[in-house]
Structure 1
Amino acid sequence: MMSVSQREAAELIESSDIKFVRLAFCDVFGVQKNISVQASEIERAFTQGIAFDASSIDGFRDPSHSDLFLFPDPATMTLLPWRPSRGGVARFFCEIRNPDGTPFSADCRRYLADTERLLAAHGLRCDIGAECEFYLFKLDEHGNPTDTPLDRAGYFDIAPADCGENVRREICQTLETMGIQPERSHHEQGPGQNEIDFRYSSARSAADHVVTFKQVVSTVA
């Protein structure tokens, strides 16, 4: 991620031929959601927010009070490398606010930011190094996923027993392109089980990285 200011983000979107901006957030279960807006809307998103109907988002609110606003955090800007380089796509994680501008009570990213501030007030800091695991499964003759593990390799095994080596490499390279630095990767103990670990970073940064990691794994694998 780029850790840029609002002005720098707007300039980068224009200079990089970005045509679409995804405004991302998570529901109370940690599932990433997003809406896509034209790149020309980014200034309004920063200053006024982009309204969305939250009535169908798990854990958010009832249909009678459904309107919420997304305000992108410029420090989380990244380009999605699997999208076309011309007319590309940028993504921001967002702060969620009520129509009156107050923080939305179920914004889990804000809760984490509040916790970080509380720790800082006591002279403390929380750094997290996430160890993320996932399973790879074979596809059938029609390209549909099965419940058969990709391999029968074990802990720290190598190719050819480890069939996930190339997938892990592509995931790590994609994350690096997005400004996220994996520390190491390897085959885990179970059949088809893989692990990619990250360097220590602030709690909110680590959470953002894990959410991005899940999206990259699903996209690449």
Structure 2
Amino acid sequence: MHTIKTLRVQFDSSLKPYEVPAFRGAVIAQVGFKDTWLFHNHIDAQTYIYRYPLIQYKSIAQKPVIFCLNEGVEEIHKLFAQPNSSLTIGTQKNEAKIGRLLMEEFTIELSTAPTYQYSILNWVALNQQRYLDYKKLERLTDKIALLEGILTANIISMAKGIGWHIPTLIQLHIKSIEHTRFVTFKKQRSLAFNLTFVCNVALPDFLGLGRNVSIGFGSIKQVKS
């Protein structure tokens, strides 16, 4: 088992999902680019840090949310310390009034069987090569098996990013695919999945898995039975 800190900061304004990149940009503009790499995962404008994002920007129930993990929980004070509390999202200037703060300690642990059920929204699983591999598969069972392997790898990558070594095998099964659609980010078109899966890993709600999690893709939520 591994205990992590999480902080969910919900602002008292409205935000549509397609506005999340602009929301992220507004926060980065507010805190500045220097010595704030957890906000944007860049050393400088040209150098990207390839690691799991510990500050993630989301639209949850049409509200702007920043989801922080571990060091990200400490880093977010740099936003709260800014004298100017407004955020310019696109062309609209908004007062960054906090509607809700929820800080928790969550124990990520493994069970002996896949007893935890989750929904995951807008999960971007496939890079360009993997998408071609996916399209070539004719049987649904083969497509599901490919996605299960990728989702398992996403959990392993996340665990590494939060400093947790998974001591045993992850058991994961996709129960259903509810919806797929194409999304575009930085002029790249990707297939996104809404699906339900079960696994033997206890994970916190609103954690992101997969590609583009820094802007809200791949958020999970436990489905209570």
Same fold by TM-score greater than 0.5: no
TM-score range (shorter-chain normalised) is 0.3 to 0.5
RCO comparison, higher one (Cα < 8 Å, 6+): 2
TM-score (norm 2): 0.34
Structure holding more helix per residue = 1
